[in-house]
Amino acid sequence: MRLSAVVVVLALGCGSASGHRASDPAPRAATERVLVSGPIDRDATPETRALFHNLRRLASQHVLFGHQDDLAYGYDWVAEPGRSDVKDVTGSFPAVYGWELSGLETGKAANIDGVEFARMRGWIAEGYRRGGVITASWHMDNPVTGGNAWDTTSAVAAILPGGARHAQFTQSLDRLAEFLGSLRGPGRSSGGRDTPIPVIFRPWHEMTGGWFWWGLPHTTSYEYQRLWRFTVAYLRDVRGLHNLLYAYAPNASGADGIGTYMAGYPGDGYVDVLGYDSYFSDTRRPGDVASLTQSLSWLVAQAESRNKIPALTETGLQALRDSSFWTARLASAIKGDSVSRRIAYVMVWRNANRHTRTDEHFYVPYLGQATADDFRRFKADPLFRFEDALPDLYRTASQ
Ligand code: BMA
């Protein structure tokens, strides 16, 4: 990586300066360093700004634990107020809540997994009121065919400015913006008056894999970067959303693993969280824990040198058929060395309900599941924080 082109920009002037037009900026080398001292949105709300700084600070001491769809359903229940599989087993809600926005772009009432957006809004507010961190992924339907995110028909060029589906795409972003802007909860900066809820938005993820239409095998690095930058500029500058932090999250890919990480990187001026998606496989392979440690150390070093938040944004072991998975594999990998443990959070995927999906697609234990004891041991490790031991992430020392 060439580090010679260091550009120091303390306050990035791409917010209001663009005059409410989404820009389609010229290509930049992924290696270009733009040192921004806070979130990339210089107009970020006080709570969003506080979340950014607190996660960066916290990362050197603790790793927050997160779970996708935690409040909406679990392995054996759906929409029970106050219920969470994580809480059933450990006594605490997770610290990070992941939500999925697919379907919003076409105006559907529920997402791809049947979670109604109206209820999701309530669950997001509930988690935020308890001090948790909210993150959202977006498995957007293929805008050309109307198929789902796994329909890899070429589509990125068509939705960029000048493309045949560009207007349709901005309408999709409008629908997304409406939802993200409607999330409100008691603000720390406003004496408890409702303010926008900060969300770590993680679009266009796992682009180094071949399974989504926005993946790099189906577009070019340049188009991918334009897609990313357009998305940020549109939501922030045209729609005026200032409650978002943006997470870039490639997956583990190919023999060189993290070596492909920067393939779609849109530049330091467009990313707040350096994420990484990497799953465990059923059989323990020699070196798999050590290799995740190595990847995380690399990620942390990159994030720290760029003033970003490092995070293991998606991970887990489907069906948890390994009784010491949590301590012997996940915790061991994160604690593998003094650098890898400095990620801000780790989030595991959803507990698909066993009545609607029969292939044991779950990632945290439910009561009685074989890894429940080990999951409690993981929680007892002082490195990991669940909701019951969270500092106030939405207030900075000076507020
Ligand atoms: C995938 C699976 C799917 C789900 C999708 C979006 O990894 O869990 O069942 O529809 O995420 O949440």
Catalytic entry in 47, 100, 223, 314: 314
* Ligand 1 geometric centre to CA of 4 (Å): 41
Atom of ligand 1 nearest to the CA of 357: 9
Mutate which of 113, 278, 349, 363 for ligand 1 pocket (most atoms within 8 A of beta carbon): 113
Place of tokens 């990159």: 302
Percent of the chain with pLDDT over 90: 85
Q: Distances from the Cα of 229 to the Cαs of 113, 136, 372, in angstroms?
A: 28, 18, 42
Q: Which of 277, 350, 358, 360 to mutate to test the pocket of ligand 1 (most atoms within 8 A of CB)?
A: 350
Active site residue 100: no
Query: 272 CB under 6 A from ligand 1?
Result: no
Q: What is the distance between the alpha carbons of residues 297 and 294, in angstroms, rounded to a whole number?
A: 5
Q: How much is the mean pLDDT over the chain?
A: 91
Confidence band for 3, pLDDT divided at 50, 70 and 90: very low
Q: Which region among 9-18, 70-79, 381-390 has the lowest average model confidence (pLDDT)?
A: 9-18
Indicate if the pLDDT at residue 30 is higher than 60: no
Whether 113 is in the pocket of ligand 1, judged by its Cβ within 6 Å, is yes
pLDDT tens digit sequence for 287-320: 899 999 999 999 999 999 999 999 999 999 999 9
Query: What percentage of the chain exceeds 70 in pLDDT?
Result: 89
Q: Cα 100 to chain center, whole Å?
A: 10
Three-state secondary structure string covering 313-344: EEECCHHHCCCCHHHHHHHHHHCCCCCHHHCC
Give 118 Cα–ligand 1 centroid separation in angstroms.
Answer: 19
d(CA 3, ligand 1 centre) in Å: 38
DSSP helix/strand/coil, 47: helix
- Please give the average per-residue pLDDT across 351-360, as a whole number: 96
User: 205 in ligand 1 pocket by Cβ < 6 Å?
Assistant: no
pLDDT of 96 above 70? yes
Which pLDDT value is given to residue 22? 58
- Evaluate: CB of 62 within 6 angstroms of ligand 1: no
Is the pLDDT reported for residue 243 higher than 60?
Answer: yes
Nearest-atom number in ligand 1 for the CA of 68 is 12
Which of the four pLDDT bands, split at 50, 70 and 90, describes residue 398?
low
Q: Whose CA is nearest to atom 3 of ligand 1?
A: 113
Confidence of residue 252 (pLDDT cuts 50, 70, 90): confident
Phi, psi of 306 (to 5 degrees): -105, 5
pLDDT of residue 37: 83
Active site (annotated) includes residue 304 = no
**8 A C-beta contact, residue 75 and residue 351:** yes
Q: Please tell me the number of Cα atoms within 13 Å of 388 on its side-chain side.
A: 9
Measuring CA to CA, how many Å separate 16 from each of 10, 24, 239, 273?
Answer: 16, 15, 11, 22
Judge if pTM exceeds 0.85. yes
Please tell me the distance from the alpha carbon of residue 398 to that of residue 390, in angstroms, as a whole number: 19
Residue 40 phi, psi (nearest 5): -65, -20
- Ligand 1 centroid–CA 195 distance in Å is 30
Using the mean position of ligand 1's atoms as its centre, give its distance from the Cα of residue 55 in Å.
26
Reply yes or no on whether the pLDDT at 399 is more than 80: no
* Mean pLDDT calculated for residue range 284-289: 89
Residues 50, 38 contacting (CB under 8 angstroms): no
Q: Which tops the pLDDT comparison, 28 or 166?
A: 166
In 3D space, the residue among 398, 22, 54, 56 whose CA is nearest the CA of residue 241 turns out to be 22
Residues 204/205/208/210 CA torsion (nearest 10 deg): -80
For the chain, how many residues are written? 399
Catalytic residue among 47, 105, 206, 387: 206
- For the segment 214-242, the average pLDDT, to the nearest whole number, is 97
The predicted pLDDT at position 191 comes to 87
- Per-residue pLDDT for 229 more than 90? yes
pLDDT digits (tens, 9 = 90+) for 114-132: 999 999 999 999 999 999 9
Q: Is the pLDDT of residue 366 over 50?
A: yes
Of ligand 1's atoms, which has the minimum distance to the CA of residue 112?
10
* Gap between the Cα atoms of 213 and 156, Å rounded: 8
Q: How far is the CA of 68 from the centre of ligand 1 (A)?
A: 10
Q: Which atom of ligand 1 is nearest to the CA of 100?
A: 12
* CB neighbour burial string for 175-193, b if at least 16 within 10 angstroms, e if fewer: bbbebbbebbbbbbbeeee
Q: What is the pLDDT of residue 259?
A: 73
